Amino acid sequence: AISYLKSRGIDKDIINYCIETGRIYESYPHHNVVMLGFDKYGTPRYANRRGIGTDFKGEASGSDKRFSFSISAEKSDTVHIFESAIDLLSYATMLKMNGKKWDEHHLLSLAGVYRPGKELKKSSFPLALKQFLFEHPETKKIHLRLDNDYAGKIATETLKHFLSEKYEVKGYPPKRGKDYNDWLCLKLGIPIKTTKPNER
């Protein structure tokens, strides 16, 4: 699991933090990297699995997207939003590379691509973000760090529409590549990994 995450460019200290806090482990017998999300009581409620040496990725049965993978700050009014746990960890790694505190603000993954409905007023809201804002009423700033593709751009504009009246909302797509892991890999000069779509 550690080798896999390092191959994606993730910083070893951040990997160790996630292992020590129970956010990441390696499953047996399939040897998947499992990234957990917890409720406010510390109970695991969400699990995303990625194959080591395979293209497999998917959610464990019974996963609740309201409690997707995240890293909370002790005191912050700002949350950074990502599509995946890998992108979240990639952004944290880039902060550390630049000498900045990677755990200064809340980091939250949406557990997948947010696809708004064809009619804006009928669009559902990402469950993970809805739960986070309910549990963190002190939030003032939302930084959307979604993928640099059509779906990511539509999702960013939709969430800005929903949230701008109450929060300061800004979009920060990656400057290079499709997502934050692509950008990190390009910065480090390592191969970009591509995977198949999510599988149940």
Q: What is the pLDDT of residues 110-129, one digit of tens each?
A: 988 777 666 666 667 899 99
Beta strands in 60-145 (DSSP E): 70-71, 78-82, 106-109, 141-144
pLDDT at 199 over 80: no
| Identity of the residue numbered 20 | E
| Per-residue confidence (pLDDT) for residue 30, from 0 to 100 | 86
Query: Which pLDDT score is estimated for 120?
Result: 60
Q: Quote the pLDDT of residue 68.
A: 97
Q: Dihedral of the CA atoms 18, 145, 191, 8 (nearest 10)? A: 0
Q: Express each pLDDT in 82-113 by its tens digit.
A: 999 999 999 999 999 999 999 999 999 998 87
- Average pLDDT for 175-196: 90
User: In the predicted model, is pLDDT for residue 190 greater than 80?
Assistant: yes
CA distances from 80 to 33, 91, 103, 128, 171 (A): 23, 9, 11, 12, 10
Two structure tokens written together for 86: 């890998």
pLDDT tens per residue, range 1-20: 999 999 999 999 999 999 99
Q: For residues 138 and 122, what is the distance between their CA atoms, to the nearest angstrom?
A: 27
Helix or strand holding residue 13 (H, E): helix 12-20
Poorest-pLDDT segment among 6-10, 60-64, 193-197: 193-197
Average pLDDT over residues 160-172: 95
